[in-house]
Structure 1
Amino acid sequence: MNQLQSMRVFVKVADLGSFVGAATALDLSTAVITRHVADLETRLGTRLLNRTTRRLSLTEAGRTYLERVRHILDDLEGVEQMVVARNHEPVGTLRIVAPVVFGLHTLAPVVQSYAARYPDVVPDVTLADRQVDLVEEGFDVGILATRHMRSGSIVTRRLTTGYMTVCATPAYLAQHGTPTRPEDLLNHPCLARSSEHGGEEKVFATPEGGEVRVRPGNAIGANNTEMLRQFALLGMGVAILPSYLIGRDLASGRLVPLLTDYRLPQVEITIAYPSRLHLPAKVRTFIDHLVEHFQQTSPPARAPRVIVPARSVPEPMANVEVRPTVAAAAVALPAGAVRRLPKVPRARIVASSSV
């Protein structure tokens, strides 16, 4: 028989002084109650109760055992109540993981407002530009700009959309001219992540519904987009950065959005958590808080258009290739090359978690 249940039965028998009374209180038969007590005595190798036809009494061993067992059962009940409370009331440490730049520029005010709203929860934030296994690494919530995760048991939910924006400072544009077409990027120093050094193909959706593919050569590389933002603010070139990183710079005029008639692939930001089953209150409330925050602060459907007078830029006709077939899109482009394509279905872009 179940030892824990036998202990509960023994305490009830001792408190009521009756097998029949314990059977009634626990909704069990008298035979089952008797068997539980007998199993305990067999396990312990000692008698716990003195039985007569009129009454029951505890032996010395029974009194000692009852005192200790009562404490054990009380502690167990307290633990169960604590676990239930933690699942229904936001409390405890909440382990969060997010990409570095997104965390530094976007997550801090959300965590601050959540902590003020739920003071019994202690947020513990980890910023990491790598693939994350939420289950193995013990995270409660992950904010990700990627679908590449090593755990198959996670649940994901779209949080917001980031827009990649071509930008530069007003001073840089005044000195070097303003790009008005994707091809014009070939005539400007481009700022990009080190992994893209040598030129990564950029796919722009045109106003007419087609695509232009450009592979500009990079002048300056960095392994962090915040560093690229700093380079851009120093007027060192043209950068393509996510909207959540440069939103304040665009609003203040420190950076100017370029090529606003063209669209780059979006960056889907998702929230991930290990399972929907028995979701702790601290996780559930944080997810709801995140969604509420980003619903209130979502970016517009597309980046605002800002008109900047452009200087004339030499026409890079030697680097432009026009092909009428979709198959041409599969041909590799050398650094500094451009291909303009007719309208074709756009493939879904999966963003890196390091954005």
Structure 2
Amino acid sequence: MARQGLIELEAVLAIAARGSFRAAALDLGLSTTALSNLIGTVERQLGVRLFNRTTRSVSLTDAGRTFVEQVAPALRDIRNAMATARSQGDTPSGTLRINAFATGAREILAPLVLRFLRRHPQVHVDLVTEGRIVDIVAEGFDLGIRTAELVPSDMIAVPLGAPRSFAVVATPSYFAAHGRPRVPPDLLGHHCIRIRLPNGAPYRWHFEKDGSPVQIDVEGPITLDEATLARIAVLDGIGIGFFMEADVRDDIAAGRLERVLQDWTPPTAPLCLYYPGRKNPSAAFRAFVDMARDLGKAAMRRA
């Protein structure tokens, strides 16, 4: 296997992570046929099957699972060694992979990511958004973005700003026609945009005042799982929406939406950039973290 280099090992780990030859081939920039041939070569050299595969599914064999568990840490060390060698120059370059949930990505895209790219044009940022909490090391990410309370304790966290808050909003015309809720239970008499969590469960709107939390299982004409879609529905006058304040800040300032129950939506934990400790980070990694620290300090000064 040494004659072919690391591509076979990368192929095995990619298929194990993605559970699909097609998805892994796309990640590696290979055709499905080429990837299948690579795996066939590895299995012949090892004398054991690594994957059980049918036309509809792919899964690791027991031998394959053991192989992946042993190879993955070694391959990470090799990648880190190669990244360290590449980072000896002073010019940030290469790819930074960042995992974030969608709301957090929207908040940091312009002030951090796009600003960073303008300053360092030789860097490519691969920003992946998803609702689930992932192990950024195991899944090949350099950095993660989550609220402070969701950052794993073994990670280094960089606050990206002041505490955030939720906002309950609707159009002025909706409130003129239906009245304004004064306390959270009033929402049960209103049309609300329901929220579906990544696991498929409905989200109960969370409120708190004077240390007393309240959860409301709202009713309404539509259930959505993406804030940008919910914003469209609210702006169209369908009902009341529940958002991170940053997602509707401009609409509130412009008068397109009005906020209610603000005394029931106190500040919550700030966003954080987080990453595992690194002895020899790349120039791009260092530059991004430094910019994130500056962004967080500037936001705290304005707060």
Would you call these one fold, judging by a TM-score over 0.5?
yes
2:165 aligned partner: 163
1:48 aligned partner: none
CA distance in 2, matches of 1:198, 1:140: 31
CA distance in 2, matches of 1:81, 1:265: 40
- Tell me if 1:142 matches 2:136: no
3-state SS of paired residue (2:292): helix
Instruction: For 1:310-321, list aligned pairs within 5 A.
Output: none
1:202 aligned partner: 206
Deviations 1:252-284 (A, max 9, x none): 111111122333461431111121432322112
Structure 2 CA distance for partners of 1:81 and 1:184, relative to 1, 3 Å:
closer
Deviations 1:80-103 (A, max 9, x none): 9954524x5422212222222332
* Corresponding residue to 2:277 among 275, 278, 282: 275
* Corresponding residue to 1:259 among 258, 261, 279: 261
1:183 aligned partner: 185
TM-score (norm 2): 0.62
Structure 2 CA distance for partners of 1:300 and 1:254, relative to 1, 3 Å:
farther
1:211 aligned partner: 212
CA distance in 1, matches of 2:278, 2:285: 10
CA distance in 2, matches of 1:80, 1:260: 47
* Corresponding residue to 2:240 among 231, 238, 244: 238
Structure 1 stretch 220-229 or stretch 260-269: which is displaced more? 260-269
Letter in 1 for 2:126: D
- By percentage of residues, which structure has more helix? 2
- Tell me if 1:115 matches 2:98: no
Task: Check conservation: 1:155, 1:275, Cα contact below 8 A.
Answer: yes
3-state SS of paired residue (2:121): coil
Aligned residues: 218
CA distance in 2, matches of 1:106, 1:204: 26
Deviations 1:167-209 (A, max 9, x none): 111111111111222232222122231248667263321xxx3
CA distance in 1, matches of 2:120, 2:250: 28
Structure 2 CA distance for partners of 1:96 and 1:201, relative to 1, 3 Å:
closer
3-state SS of paired residue (2:168): strand
CA distance in 2, matches of 1:80, 1:97: 19
Structure 2 CA distance for partners of 1:214 and 1:234, relative to 1, 3 Å:
same
Structure 2 CA distance for partners of 1:108 and 1:132, relative to 1, 3 Å:
farther
Structure 2: stretches of 5+ with no match in the other structure: 1-81
Instruction: For 1:296-315, list aligned pairs within 5 A.
Output: 296-297=298-299
- Tell me if 1:98 matches 2:94: no
Structure 2 CA distance for partners of 1:199 and 1:94, relative to 1, 3 Å:
closer
Q: CA offset at residue 129 of structure 1? A: 2.1
CA distance in 2, matches of 1:279, 1:124: 17
Q: CA offset at residue 163 of structure 1? A: 0.8
Letter in 2 for 1:200: R
Letter in 2 for 1:159: L
Deviations 1:283-313 (A, max 9, x none): 1211221232344456976xxxxxxxxxxxx
Structure 1: stretches of 5+ with no match in the other structure: 1-78, 302-355
CA distance in 2, matches of 1:165, 1:271: 23
Structure 2 CA distance for partners of 1:129 and 1:81, relative to 1, 3 Å:
closer
1:193 aligned partner: 195
Task: Check conservation: 1:99, 1:145, Cα contact below 8 A.
Answer: no
Letter in 1 for 2:118: A
CA distance in 2, matches of 1:141, 1:203: 31
CA distance in 1, matches of 2:83, 2:183: 64
Letter in 1 for 2:276: P
Letter in 2 for 1:177: G
- The Cα RMSD (Å) is 3.1
3-state SS of paired residue (2:252): helix
Task: Check conservation: 2:191, 2:240, Cα contact below 8 A.
Answer: yes
Letter in 2 for 1:233: L
Structure 2 CA distance for partners of 1:201 and 1:90, relative to 1, 3 Å:
closer
Letter in 1 for 2:259: P
Q: CA offset at residue 216 of structure 1? A: 4.0
CA distance in 2, matches of 1:178, 1:300: 31
CA distance in 2, matches of 1:190, 1:249: 18
3-state SS of paired residue (2:128): strand
